Chain A
Amino acid sequence: MFTMRVYPVISLILLFACSSLPAEQIYISPEKNIQEKLQETLILAQPGDEIILAAGIYEFTDGLSLDVDNIKLSGAGHEKTILSFTGQITGAQGLLVTSDNVVLKDFAIEDTKGDGIKVKGSNGIYFLNIRTEWTGGPKATNGAYGLYPVESKNVLIDGCIAIGASDAGIYVGQSENIVVRNSRAEYNVAGIEIENSNHADVYNNLATHNTGGILIFDLPYLPKQGGHTIRVFGNQSIQNDTPNFAPEGNIVGEVPMGSGVIVMASENIEIFNNEIGDNATVNLAVVAGEDSDDPNYQKFPKRIQIHDNRFGPGGFDPDERGDLGPILVEIVSTNIPDIMWDGVLPFWQYLFGQPTDEKLVIDGNGDATFINLDAFWYVVLPYFHQPETDINDFSGNISPLPAVKLVFPD
């Protein structure tokens, strides 16, 4: 449905953008000196041009970058046009995009030393049927991110595949107006991560065999904070069973193996119609962010709505790595309910209660089980600590969040 609307708009923009120069189609195929050839093409391209990469394996020793607006870079399919960085010597990523209205379509980026595709500060970036993969399977020496838009607006990730990232396969950070759909993330530490971003729709994706399937995080000390208004729906986050292989020091290094969906900090999050199961630590967790001395950081999750999800088996063998796992095991032992909230609130709310409109709402999730760890009282008054397990205490009316509308810049 979106696709139908998206394409005519893009082509219109491309037509307008090149009113002075006729748009060109530039054909590239694997050849000697492809590094310089493709990089020069990416630099000399004019707005409106389409760069077409023929099927084949392209080998690079250095990172590539694109800084021209209104460019389409397309291959012959994500299993046919393969940009291989096995022999990469320089460059923190395979491809860096820093311009607006860029379409990346139908190719694969393999085995980069750092990130796969990083996009920074772009307005209008479209990843269509792109694959990023580390072909040697999950390894700590793999690059951090597969698809990595940051500080961007109007981000579409559609029909993509991300495999083997040592941080997140699909990672959208400090961005707004985001759609991630019809994509597959597997054998990454985090499958799909939306971090410090607002207005995102994550739907119809499959996250499997990651350490954690889908993460909605908000972190301190960043220029853009206060992630909010994110819908996660119609996804499958199942059997995330790859041991955490992230280098220490990274936040995802804390994610226990077998996490389906984790919401950390963040506000206005709606999680519905997902299938979440076979996750050994916990199917769905809502937790507060870590303590920080950042005065702008809002560490408590607010207005989180969880409804109409289907849960399979979960929490049957919690991973005790990181911060969360050991606490879970200590409080709950080894049978973690489907939905877990750490129950951490601002101190005054323990005394006066949480404002009604900020409360967690859980409704219509079939026979899902629940626990409020009430972690604060567990620490303060362990003898009197009684975790709450009645899911019905959290039922309520759902206020649906609006769909994300991608806006195409001029």
Chain B
Amino acid sequence: MLFFAALFTFSDTHSSVNDEAILSEKFPIKLSTYGFFDNLAQQQPKLGVLPYNLITVLFSDYADKDRFVYVPSAKKAHYVEDSVFDFPVGTALIKTFSYSQRISDSDVVKELIETRLLLRKIDRWETLAYVWNEEQTEAYLKVGGKTVNTHFTDSTGQNRTVRYRVPNKNQCKECHASGDSIVPIGPKPRNLDKDYDYPKQTMNQLVKWSQMSIIDGYPKSVEPVADFTDLSKDIEARARAYLAINCGHCHSPKGSASSTGLYLNYSEQRPKQLGILKPPVAAGRGSGGLNYSIVPGDPDASILLFRMISDDPAIMMPESGRSMVHQEAVALIYDWIERMEGEAR
């Protein structure tokens, strides 16, 4: 009896997500086809489509992001050390990018820009971007990328304009490539290990994912990454957490920036590979006339910071995904390098 009840619950919970659409090699034109949401425009997920957050996130021109995970019933993701969970075939990772603009004190308008999907096909992960229409009623598949010029209100209340770029399919790969395959970046256990305000209760996400049978477990020894905005945390931990999620997917031995020899992934410990007194290789103008990626104690002489401050496409890092400068991160990395001890140059 219990067994049947469980089965019933599962099928009821998941019946409405279109599993076939997730697996199909003919990519749906409309986001609504997948059936991830009860209310698409309000981004209210169906049961079984679980919202989540990350501790330290990738900067995308100050866009807000709503994340959801969907794992088909009776399947579970497995824990992999120092990696994202190994999600089963049929999984969807859903991320909606939006900007909010304060019109008046009581009136904030949220504009949905795009919804990105990472779909676990039978043989691989597929990346797709759906761009929202002006009416905000539907999002449509866009493989070639798109420029969206819009406005938002920043944390200080300033109204700002942004030339937001929806990535084309190849740009998705630039960040999500590991060797020859595409992999998710965000949902690593250490980056999920925090509380989330679920509708009925507040709960640790990893505990919730276990309860929901999204994952089959995780070691209790998982050390959460630092929230890079959390001033109570050690600056080294904050800086490394930020660099790992913003740079480390390309700047790793298997990533798109493997040829640079500069590795900022979370597990890298070798000083030279982390950029300490490492000369640039093929930086061109990106060197800014400076000799090393990081000069301990001297942020102004450090190429790493110079490239974070720039918005010139030949200089700026990351190469894609931002057109604005992430001031809060620049401040953090400045402090980090300034406090760093090492041989003076």
**B313 touching A249, Cβ below 8 Å:** no
For A293, list chain B residues within 8 Å (CB): 272
* C-alpha gap A150/B272 in the complex (Å): 21
User: Smallest Cβ distance from B283 to chain A, in angstroms?
Assistant: 6
For A88, list chain B residues within 8 Å (CB): 313
For A90, list chain B residues within 8 Å (CB): 165, 313, 320, 323
Which residues, 28 to 87 on A, are CB-close (under 8 Å) to B? 36-37, 39-40, 42-44, 61-63, 65-67
Across the interface, A248 reaches (CB within 8 A) one of B144, B147, B165, B289, namely B289
For B313, list chain A residues within 8 Å (CB): 63, 88-92, 113-114
**B289 touching A120, Cβ below 8 Å:** no
User: Smallest Cβ distance from A179 to chain B, in angstroms?
Assistant: 20
Q: Does A406 lie at the interface of the complex (its beta carbon under 8 Å from any beta carbon of B)?
A: no
Q: Which of B48-56, B91-99, B169-177, B191-199 lies on the face that meets chain A?
A: B169-177
**A151 touching B319, Cβ below 8 Å:** no
**B303 touching A249, Cβ below 8 Å:** yes
* C-alpha gap A123/B171 in the complex (Å): 20
For A248, list chain B residues within 8 Å (CB): 287, 289-291
User: Smallest Cβ distance from B276 to chain A, in angstroms?
Assistant: 11
* C-alpha gap A43/B126 in the complex (Å): 13
Q: Which residue of A lies closest to B273 (CB)?
A: A221
B265-289 contact mask (Cβ, 8 Å, vs A): 1 or 0 = 0000000100000111111111111
Across the interface, B283 reaches (CB within 8 A) one of A61, A98, A140, A250, namely A250
User: Smallest Cβ distance from B124 to chain A, in angstroms?
Assistant: 13
Across the interface, B145 reaches (CB within 8 A) one of A62, A112, A223, namely A62
**B282 touching A249, Cβ below 8 Å:** no
**B259 touching A67, Cβ below 8 Å:** no
Q: Which of A167-175, A357-365, A384-392 lies on the face that meets chain B?
A: A167-175
Q: Which residue of B lies closest to A61 (CB)?
A: B147
**B284 touching A98, Cβ below 8 Å:** no
For B289, list chain A residues within 8 Å (CB): 247-249
Q: Does A26 lie at the interface of the complex (its beta carbon under 8 Å from any beta carbon of B)?
A: no
Q: Does A96 lie at the interface of the complex (its beta carbon under 8 Å from any beta carbon of B)?
A: yes
* C-alpha gap A62/B321 in the complex (Å): 12
Q: Does A6 lie at the interface of the complex (its beta carbon under 8 Å from any beta carbon of B)?
A: no
**A249 touching B288, Cβ below 8 Å:** yes
**B144 touching A247, Cβ below 8 Å:** no
Q: Does B16 lie at the interface of the complex (its beta carbon under 8 Å from any beta carbon of A)?
A: no
Q: Does B73 lie at the interface of the complex (its beta carbon under 8 Å from any beta carbon of A)?
A: no
Across the interface, B284 reaches (CB within 8 A) one of A66, A173, A250, namely A250
B296-321 contact mask (Cβ, 8 Å, vs A): 1 or 0 = 00000001000000001110000110
Q: Does B261 lie at the interface of the complex (its beta carbon under 8 Å from any beta carbon of A)?
A: yes
**B287 touching A92, Cβ below 8 Å:** no
Q: Which of A141-149, A232-240, A270-278, A338-346 lies on the face that meets chain B?
A: A141-149
**A91 touching B320, Cβ below 8 Å:** yes
User: Smallest Cβ distance from A274 to chain B, in angstroms?
Assistant: 26
Q: Does A115 lie at the interface of the complex (its beta carbon under 8 Å from any beta carbon of B)?
A: yes
User: Smallest Cβ distance from A61 to chain B, in angstroms?
Assistant: 8
For B283, list chain A residues within 8 Å (CB): 144, 249-250
Q: Which residue of A lies closest to B284 (CB)?
A: A144
Q: Does A403 lie at the interface of the complex (its beta carbon under 8 Å from any beta carbon of B)?
A: no
Size of A's binding interface in residues, CB under 8 A? 50
Q: Does B229 lie at the interface of the complex (its beta carbon under 8 Å from any beta carbon of A)?
A: no
Q: Does B146 lie at the interface of the complex (its beta carbon under 8 Å from any beta carbon of A)?
A: yes
Q: Which residue of B lies closest to A96 (CB)?
A: B170
Q: Which residue of B lies closest to A189 (CB)?
A: B284
* C-alpha gap A365/B238 in the complex (Å): 60
- A65-B170 contact, Cβ under 8 Å, with A144-B285, A166-B285: yes
User: Smallest Cβ distance from A187 to chain B, in angstroms?
Assistant: 16
* C-alpha gap A140/B313 in the complex (Å): 15
**B165 touching A150, Cβ below 8 Å:** no
User: Smallest Cβ distance from B298 to chain A, in angstroms?
Assistant: 14
User: Smallest Cβ distance from A353 to chain B, in angstroms?
Assistant: 32
* C-alpha gap A89/B311 in the complex (Å): 9
**B291 touching A43, Cβ below 8 Å:** no
For A141, list chain B residues within 8 Å (CB): 285
Q: Does B57 lie at the interface of the complex (its beta carbon under 8 Å from any beta carbon of A)?
A: no
* C-alpha gap A148/B146 in the complex (Å): 26
User: Smallest Cβ distance from A93 to chain B, in angstroms?
Assistant: 9
For B177, list chain A residues within 8 Å (CB): 98
Q: Does B258 lie at the interface of the complex (its beta carbon under 8 Å from any beta carbon of A)?
A: yes
User: Smallest Cβ distance from B29 to chain A, in angstroms?
Assistant: 14
**A249 touching B287, Cβ below 8 Å:** yes
* C-alpha gap A61/B174 in the complex (Å): 19
Tell which of B145, B169, B279, B313 has the most Cβ of chain A within 10 Å. B313
For B323, list chain A residues within 8 Å (CB): 89-90
A148-159 contact mask (Cβ, 8 Å, vs B): 1 or 0 = 101100000000
**B284 touching A115, Cβ below 8 Å:** yes
* C-alpha gap A44/B312 in the complex (Å): 29
* C-alpha gap A223/B287 in the complex (Å): 19
Across the interface, B170 reaches (CB within 8 A) one of A36, A61, A66, namely A66
**B145 touching A36, Cβ below 8 Å:** yes
Which residues, 179 to 212 on B, are CB-close (under 8 Å) to A? none
* C-alpha gap A40/B168 in the complex (Å): 8
**A92 touching B144, Cβ below 8 Å:** no
For A61, list chain B residues within 8 Å (CB): 147
Across the interface, B281 reaches (CB within 8 A) one of A36, A67, A221, namely A221
- A222-B285 contact, Cβ under 8 Å, with A39-B144, A65-B168, A173-B259: no
**B282 touching A167, Cβ below 8 Å:** yes
- A247-B284 contact, Cβ under 8 Å, with A40-B144, A43-B143, A223-B253: yes
* C-alpha gap A110/B187 in the complex (Å): 40
**B170 touching A143, Cβ below 8 Å:** no
Q: 7 closest A-B pairs (Cβ-Cβ)?
A: A144-B284, A249-B287, A40-B144, A114-B314, A65-B170, A248-B289, A39-B144
The interface of chain B, by Cβ under 8 A from chain A, is 143-147, 163, 165, 168-171, 173-174, 177, 253, 256, 258-259, 261, 272, 278-292, 303, 312-314, 319-320, 323
- In the assembled complex, 14 residue pairs joining A and B whose CB atoms fall closer than 8 Å, in A order, are A43-B144, A92-B313, A92-B314, A92-B320, A145-B282, A151-B258, A166-B284, A174-B259, A223-B259, A247-B289, A248-B289, A249-B291, A249-B292, A250-B283
Other than the known A89-B313, A92-B314, A247-B285, what 6 A-B pairs have Cβ atoms closer than 8 Å? Answer: A91-B313, A114-B286, A223-B259, A249-B280, A249-B288, A249-B292
